[in-house]
């Protein structure tokens, strides 16, 4: 096909092609615009909806349930890289063993591996009298009176030799530490080795045991009159005037108003939120798994009838 024939065909197609005629307007009519403006004017002004106060994702009791995840407040001991690596190791350890919630005053049973024991394991039942340190060095102390002899065992919470931790009685006490049980009557520290667990309803608040122990006569291991203890009943019975005078000299009532001391001895709330936000997902998954395992243990399969 030569050039002249191509030109002729293009002209014929242009002449034969029909034009599309639009029979309606794509623009908005003026009366429609006016009606819309009138409706806007007649409509009552809409009040802005207040923002919804969402609950924080991180529970507020995390700093009491998991105190070991908070670093040491002393600045000279801080190391951000080490703290982050320790938190990862603690989460890995919690995936291997169930570390339940407990407080000072709770009764625990700890089973640990012991190469010198008959069955290569040992189990100790006692009341938790103290929790201290942080990170992988977190530890707690259990006390029990066995054969009229006070026994105390110090456990590291993330020790790989610990096989099982059972909470036999979950409760709190009036004081943060119960070292004064060493000078109290033995009945306040005596617990049966075969003690069974006392169940607590799911979601119920942790009870606070407001019992006040009775101390033995002096001499004591520490000067308990200087520590403002709320869980001791008879300190004044064994105090003399010289004890009261020496106790009054060392009292510092203004410390409760010292905001800088509180700041130096604690972790700021913003940093606590940041730390627990980092580990909340793993801890929440472990809590759900613990609840599922608890339901499985409470279910008793009926026996088949003969």
Radius of gyration of the chain (CA): 36
Q: Is the confidence at residue 232, as pLDDT, over 70?
A: yes
Fold that domain 61-211 belongs to in CATH:
SH3 type barrels. (2.30.30)
Do 177 and 129 meet the contact criterion of CB atoms below 8 Å apart? yes
Q: Delimit the domains of the chain by residue range.
A: 61-211
Res 59: pLDDT: 86
With the C-alpha atoms ordered 251, 142, 172, 96, is the resulting torsion angle positive or negative? positive
Q: Is the confidence at residue 2, as pLDDT, over 90?
A: no
Over range 175-196, report the average pLDDT.
95
DSSP string over 132-193: E--GGG-EEEEEEEETTEEEEEEEETT-TTEEEEEEEE--B-SSS--GGGGSB-GGGS---T
Res 306: pLDDT: 46
- Enumerate long-range contacts of 2-11, CB under 8 Å, 24 or more apart: none
Q: Phi and psi of 146, rounded to 5°?
A: -125, 125
User: Tens digits of per-residue pLDDT, 37-68?
Assistant: 666 666 555 565 655 555 557 888 899 999 99
Do 266 and 73 meet the contact criterion of CB atoms below 8 Å apart? yes
Do 170 and 215 meet the contact criterion of CB atoms below 8 Å apart? no
| pLDDT band, very low/low/confident/very high, at 202 (cuts 50, 70, 90) | confident
Res 82: pLDDT: 95
Q: Phi and psi of 240, rounded to 5°?
A: -105, 175
Q: What's this model's pTM, rounded to 2 decimal places?
A: 0.77
Cis peptide before 239 (omega within 30 of 0): no
Place of tokens 């034969």: 16
| pLDDT band, very low/low/confident/very high, at 282 (cuts 50, 70, 90) | very high
């Amino acid at each position: 096909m030569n050039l002249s024939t191509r030109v002729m065909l293009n002209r014929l197609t242009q002449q034969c092609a029909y034009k599309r005629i639009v029979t309606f307007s794509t623009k908005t009519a003026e009366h429609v615009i006016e009606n819309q403006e009138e409706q806007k004017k007649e409509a009552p002004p809409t009040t802005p909806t207040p923002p919804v106060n969402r609950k924080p994702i991180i529970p507020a009791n995390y700093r009491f349930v998991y105190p070991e995840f908070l670093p040491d407040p002393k600045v000279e001991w801080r190391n951000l890289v080490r703290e982050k690596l320790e938190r990862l190791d603690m989460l890995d350890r919690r995936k291997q063993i169930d570390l339940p919630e407990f407080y000072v005053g709770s009764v625990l049973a700890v089973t640990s591996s012991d190469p010198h024991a008959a069955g290569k394991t040992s189990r100790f039942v006692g009341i938790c009298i103290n929790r201290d340190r942080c990170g992988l060095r977190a530890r707690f102390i259990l006390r029990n009176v066995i054969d009229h002899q006070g026994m105390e065992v110090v456990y590291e919470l993330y020790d790989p030799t610990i096989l099982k931790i059972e909470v036999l009685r979950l409760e709190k006490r009036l004081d943060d530490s119960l070292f004064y049980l060493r000078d109290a009557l033995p009945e306040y520290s005596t617990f049966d080795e075969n003690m069974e667990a006392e169940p607590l309803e799911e979601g119920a608040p942790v009870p606070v045991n407001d019992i006040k122990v009775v101390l033995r006569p002096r001499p004591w291991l520490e000067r308990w009159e200087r520590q403002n203890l709320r869980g001791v009943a008879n300190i004044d019975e064994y105090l003399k005037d010289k004890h009261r005078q020496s106790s009054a000299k060392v009292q510092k009532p203004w410390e409760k108003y010292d905001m800088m001391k509180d700041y130096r001895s604690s972790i700021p709330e913003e940093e606590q939120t940041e730390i627990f936000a980092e580990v909340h997902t793993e801890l929440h998954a472990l809590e759900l798994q613990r609840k599922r395992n608890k339901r499985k243990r409470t279910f008793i399969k009926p026996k088949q009838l003969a």
